Amino acid sequence: MPFINKKSVFFDSKEIRDLIFKGYIVVYKIDEAKDTIEVFGFTKYEDDPFKL
């Protein structure tokens, strides 16, 4: 059930979701055509992922 998690706060797309687990955010994309999930982001919840 990949759509159970909330829509990502980092991207404006319904296919990209945020999974929060033990203080981390896992950002993943749901590809229904391929029936796959692609994980492409993993960051600590307190950190600013856009900070250089």
Assigned domain for 23 exists: yes
Provide the domain limits for residue 35. 2-41
Assigned domain for 32 exists: yes
Assigned domain for 7 exists: yes
Assigned domain for 25 exists: yes
φ, ψ at 12 (rounded to 5°): -100, 70
Query: What's the confidence (pLDDT) of residue 43?
Result: 79
Query: What's the confidence (pLDDT) of residue 44?
Result: 79
Assigned domain for 49 exists: no
Assigned domain for 6 exists: yes
The one-character DSSP state at 29 is E
Q: For the chain, report the end-to-end CA distance as a whole number of angstroms.
A: 34
Closest CA to 30 of 2, 1, 11: 2
Give the tens place of pLDDT for each residue, 37-49.
999 888 776 656 5
Q: What total number of domains does the chain contain?
A: 1
Query: What's the confidence (pLDDT) of residue 48?
Result: 62
Rg for the chain, CA atoms, rounded: 11
Assigned domain for 48 exists: no
Give the tens place of pLDDT for each residue, 13-41.
999 999 988 888 899 999 999 999 999 88
